[in-house]
Structures are given as C-alpha cells and as structure tokens.
C-alpha cells in the first residue's frame, strides 16, 4: 500500500517517527514534500510545522489565551502549509508526501485532504500522522486503502520499501 497512517497514543511519538523518516530519506537523496510538526521548547500550546522540502517553519496555532481549552489550530495557517506542499509537489516529482496530522480540517475536505488524493493519484506514497481521536474520521476518509503502522523506524522503513515497489 502506498498510504500509511501512524496513530500512537502520544502524538509526540508520531512527530518523532515522521521526522526521523524524513531525515533518513532526505539523507538518501529522496525528495520528500509535506510537513512535519516540530517540538516547541516545553510549550504545548504552540504548533509549528517544518515545511518540506525547504525546511521553512510555519506556526499553525493561534494564541487564544491561557484559559482557552478549545482547538488552537489556525485554519488559515494550515491552508498555507497545504498550499506550500501542493506547490512543492507540482514543482518537481516527489518520492513521498508526509502529512504531520490528519484532523478535523482534513476530514471536512480542507487542509491536506486534497493533496493526499492528488499524491496518491500520481503514485506518490503518502504517510499520515494522526491523534487517536481522529482515527474514525481518517478511516472514513481512507477506507481500506491505508496501512496502519506503529511509530517506530523499522516499521516505517519496511513500509517505505514496500511502498516504493508498489508506486
């Protein structure tokens, strides 16, 4: 399968696994497009993405104040990240699309949703991270097209080898 999903209980494990895969594949000369979430120094309210392949950092969270308990996602910033990934995919052939998180925006057809479909239609393998609370929404989106992977490097590299053969 050329679509894979990671859904660990701790999304930090997802971020780390995806970042490690990107680093390894880039080191092998692969062109990876998309975005990975980068940890922010102890601040859990901040969400920054590293856009691929260039490495530009983009903040996708908005400050709603210390008492806020709702979603901090800035939908406009997420759309900017998806547009940058779409431009990178259109600019040159890609070996892999990485989507840091599949969430409510994607389930509603926004964010990276369209790009996932575009990449798959072009035969580009796609790997997606998600929080357990969004697993049912992703399953509705992907049906039986996705392979579920643990957030460990051996499983990701094994999937990558099979995805290349299938692409």
Q: What is the pLDDT of residues 2-22, one digit of tens each?
A: 999 999 999 889 999 999 999
Q: How many residues does the chain have?
A: 167
Alpha helices (H) in 57-152, listed in sequence order: 75-91, 104-107, 113-121, 135-142
Q: Where are the domains of the chain?
A: 3-40+47-62+71-166
Given a cut of 60, is residue 70 above it in pLDDT?
no
Pick the CATH number of 3-40+47-62+71-166 from 3.90.25.10, 3.40.50.2020, 3.10.150.10, 3.40.50.300: 3.40.50.300
Looking at every residue in the chain, the average pLDDT score rounds to 90
From CA 165, how far away is CA 81, in angstroms rounded?
29
How does pLDDT run across 121-130, given as a tens digit for each residue?
999 999 999 9
Higher-confidence residue of 46 and 124: namely: 124
The pTM for the full model equals 0.91
- CA 156, 118, 18 angle in degrees (round to 5)? 25
Q: Taking a C-beta distance cutoff of 8 angstroms, is the pair 6, 14 a contact?
A: yes
pLDDT, residue 74, reads 85
From CA 129, how far away is CA 87, in angstroms rounded?
21
Segment 127-136 shows an average pLDDT of: 95
Task: List, as one string, the DSSP characters of 53-70.
Answer: TT--EEE-B----TT--S
Ramachandran bin of 5, using left for φ above 0, alpha for ψ from -120 to 50, beta for the remaining angles: beta
């Amino acid at each position: 399968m050329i679509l894979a999903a990671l859904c660990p209980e701790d999304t930090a494990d997802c971020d780390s696994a995806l970042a490690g895969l990107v680093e390894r594949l880039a080191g092998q000369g692969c062109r990876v497009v998309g975005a990975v979430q980068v940890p922010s120094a102890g601040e859990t309210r901040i969400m920054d993405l590293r856009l691929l392949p260039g490495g530009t950092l983009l903040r996708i969270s908005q400050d709603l104040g210390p008492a806020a308990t709702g979603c901090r996602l800035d939908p406009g910033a997420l759309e900017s990240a998806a547009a940058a990934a779409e431009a990178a995919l259109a600019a040159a052939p890609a070996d892999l699309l990485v989507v840091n998180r599949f969430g409510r925006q994607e389930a509603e057809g926004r964010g990276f949703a369209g790009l996932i479909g575009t990449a798959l239609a072009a035969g580009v393998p796609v790997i997606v991270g998600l929080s357990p609370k969004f697993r049912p929404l992703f399953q509705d989106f992907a049906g039986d097209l996705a392979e579920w992977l643990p957030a460990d490097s051996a499983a990701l590299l094994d999937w990558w080898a099979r995805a290349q053969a299938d692409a």
